[in-house]
Every structure is written in structure tokens, then in C-alpha cells.
Amino acid sequence: MKKPELLAPAGNLEKLKMALIYGADAVYMGGKAFGLRAFSDNFSHDELKQGITFAHSLNKKAYITVNIFPHNDDLPELPDYIKSVSAMGADGIIVSDLGVFRIARQVNPALPIHISTQANSTNWSTVRFWQELGAARVVLARELSLEDIRGIRQKVDIELEAFVHGAMCMSYSGRCLISNYLTGRDANRGECAQPCRWKYYLMEESRPGVYLPVLEDERGTYIFNSKDLCLIGHLPELIESGLNSFKIEGRMKSVHYVATVVKVYREAIDSYAAFPDAFRVKQEWLEELQKVSHREYTTGFYFNKTTEQDQIYTSSSYIQTHDFVGLVKEYNPSTSMAIVEQRNNMKIGDEIEIMQPGQENFTQTITAMFNDEGNPIEVAPHPQQMLTMPVSKPVSPYAMLRRQDPRRTRL
């Protein structure tokens, strides 16, 4: 069988490297303009080039998001931007708008174009339309069922991509105007304020200023707040449906989130490919996906129409049980010592879990730490402080240290 591509988000250069090192086949990233994540770090011109070069050094791919719905004043700089990312060796661009598609084909007819989920491709005729125009891939709308995807696959001969994990919109992706209406920030130009996650009360027209909870809860209700998508338990059906690429949402998520989710899906896809008939969902995969910052999980539209069970009404908080506290930079096998960059306060006596690419996790207690001058320290409180510490098993660069915090399960 041909394994589907595992496509990961890259909000900055560090996240890009972590995603690829932890097992993604490709990443998608945005420059400082023309993408739909205006508030992620995004990439400068030089960083885009570095990211593409790094991906290619691992024989992996990098796609650039150009998926805004542009207005006239967005267009003058667009041709040069597409020329630039094309010259860098980008493996494709992701677009939503026919005008952007037209300009891209004029600038470089050979540049692969992927049609964003924002274009709302919900049927085979739409997908075939993009195929006939020369698109290389269509990212299907999140609102499709697995049966819909199978039906599209039977009618078209083009790469198909779909989301398998991450945040969901409460509206059809790309068709929600709440942010624009309430804040003036246009979601279709990368500036969504996520008002679907806000708390709401009901006000009766003849009683202005009297706010009533929609549910009988003094905190109000989060009536638009969708659960997060998670399809780790349904990979066989997804693979057999004919999807070419499995996409993880989250360019604004943390390094810990990206590495953990990618590692889980990498292991699951490889496990199914090796022994399809014996595939089972491992408990440790489910546990790993609970450790990253997330909302409660749902399978979205894949197996049934969404109901009230796919929304969260009590809080807009994320669930989080583990803190990312350190990143391994180097390891000395002769001394069993690791050089670690601190990412969160940690101290001697903390029990930590160490996760690394392609290896099983292990736990240990921090028994000693030394600062960059070689002096012993009890606690590492300074952001990105470099320290040396003994580890109980060999580790590789980019291994991550995390610590469970039983006192805090919600942000």
C-alpha cells in the first residue's frame, strides 16, 4: 500500500524542524503576508528559504500558504511573492481564491497548486473543476463525511487531502463572519479573533442591558465552541478511502503540541502499513494526545452529522496535563549527560518524561543540574537557560522534557 502523506503545521522555523524530525512527511507554512494565520509567528523571506532547504535535506516537502481571499490592494505584490517562493523551491502553494490561482498559473505554470479547505470543496464536481484547471491537490472541506470522501475519490483523479486532527470551526470553514462583524477583523484575510470561543449571554430586545444565560449557568454558555477533531482511532477507514494526505491543524499551536501529535500519527500510520490486518489503536497513543493542550475530542463530520455532543458549553479552556520544560541540544554518551535548553521552570526532584523521535518515552527524576559555568544549581528558572543534567537513557537532539502537573489540567 502507498502510505498517505502526514502533513504538519509549521508556525515558525523551530516548529517546522520539530514536525519533520518527529515524523511528518511534509509541512505547510506561511510568510508574513497572504496566509490565514496573521497572528502566528510566520516566516520571513530568509526563514521560508531555510525551512524549504531543511525539509529538502530530509527528502521531505514544504508547502506555502497563499490562501487569503484578497482584495484589490492585496494583488500588486502577489506575483513577486509567488515568484519568490517558487524560486526557493517550494513544493507547492495552497490557495483558496480563483484570482490567486490565475496569477500563480501565469507566474509559474509548473508550480503545484493545492486548493485550500477554505475553498469549501464539498462535492466531486467542484473537485473535478479544480482538477481540470490544473490543480495538483484539493484539501477537502472539513464538513464532509467519510462516505462523501469515498464518493469523491471514485469520480476524480487528483490528490485529496483532509484534516485528521486539530481545532474545528463552528461554521463551514471559510464562511464564518462573526469575527468580522463583532471586531472588524476579517477571518478570510488571516485575522480571526475566534469569537466562537467567547462566552455568550442572551439579551431580550425589550430589556436592553438585562443579560440572561442561555443555559441556567451563572457563567454563561459557549454555544459556538466546537470540540477538537481526533481521528487516531479511524486510520484504516481513512487510508482505505483513498486520501493522499492527512493534515494536522495548528500553525499557532506549541512546539510540544506539534511534535507529540506528529509522533503519534506517524507511529499509527506506520503500524497500519506494516500489519494492516493486525492494526489496533494503542492506549499510549490515546494517552499522548491527552497530554498536549487540546479541547475534548470529536470525530467531527466523518461518521455522522454533528450534534450538541460535538460542542462544549461549560468553558472555552484547553485541557492540559503536561508542561514542556526542556529541549535537548546535545548528548554525551561517555558521561550520560545532556545539554538542555530550559523552556519552563524545573528543579531537582522533579519527575520528568523524555520524548524523542522514533523512540519510546521514558521517565526519570532530575537528580542534578549544572549551569553553563559548570556550577550545580537547584532550580532552572530562566527562560531558555542552558544547563547540563544526567539522563538515565541515551537521548538525541530535539528530545523533549515534560513534567506532569496534577494541579493544573486546564489553562
Same structural domain for residues 271 and 154?
Answer: yes
- Listed in order, strand segments (DSSP E) in 366-406 are 379-380, 386-390, 400-404
Q: What is the pLDDT of residue 216?
A: 41
Read off the pLDDT of residues 340-399 as tens digits, 9 standing for 90 and up: 999 999 999 999 999 999 999 999 999 999 999 999 999 999 999 999 999 999 999 999
The residue out of 305, 340, 361 marking a domain boundary is 305
Q: Does the residue 160 lie in any domain? A: yes
Same structural domain for residues 378 and 231?
Answer: no
Q: Does the residue 273 lie in any domain? A: yes
Q: Does the residue 55 lie in any domain? A: yes
176 confidence band (pLDDT: 50, 70, 90): low
Same structural domain for residues 254 and 339?
Answer: no
207 confidence band (pLDDT: 50, 70, 90): confident
Same structural domain for residues 276 and 355?
Answer: no
396, three cell numbers? 538525541
Where would I find the H helices in 108-254?
124-133, 146-155, 178-183, 235-240
The residue out of 305, 334, 355 marking a domain boundary is 305
The residue out of 261, 277, 305 marking a domain boundary is 305
231 confidence band (pLDDT: 50, 70, 90): very high
Same structural domain for residues 288 and 335?
Answer: no
Same structural domain for residues 150 and 294?
Answer: yes
Same structural domain for residues 365 and 281?
Answer: no
Distance of CA 352 to the CA centre of its chain: 25
Q: Are 22 and 259 in contact (CB under 8 A)?
A: yes
Domain hosting 349: range is: 322-404
Read off the pLDDT of residues 33-85 as tens digits, 9 standing for 90 and up: 786 655 556 799 999 999 999 999 999 999 999 998 888 998 999 999 999 99
Q: Are 37 and 70 in contact (CB under 8 A)?
A: no
Residue pointed to by grid coordinates 463583532: 182
Which residues, at least 6 apart from 147, have a Cβ–Cβ distance to it below 8 Å? none
2 or 343, higher pLDDT? 343
Q: What is the pLDDT of residue 194?
A: 74
- Listed in order, strand segments (DSSP E) in 137-201 are 137-139, 159-166
Q: What is the pLDDT of residue 410?
A: 44
H or E segment and range at residue 284: helix 283-291
Rounded mean pLDDT of 255-284? 95
Same structural domain for residues 300 and 326?
Answer: no
Same structural domain for residues 134 and 264?
Answer: yes
Q: Does the residue 315 lie in any domain? A: no
Same structural domain for residues 136 and 255?
Answer: yes
pLDDT higher than 80, residue 212? no
* Mean pLDDT across the chain: 88
Same structural domain for residues 69 and 143?
Answer: yes
Q: Does the residue 272 lie in any domain? A: yes
pLDDT higher than 80, residue 252? yes
Q: Does the residue 212 lie in any domain? A: no
Residue 202 identity (one-letter amino acid): L
CATH number for the domain spanning 392: value is 2.40.30.10
Q: How many domains does the chain have?
A: 2
Same structural domain for residues 246 and 122?
Answer: yes
Q: Does the residue 76 lie in any domain? A: yes
Q: Does the residue 190 lie in any domain? A: no
CATH number for the domain spanning 142: value is 3.20.20.70
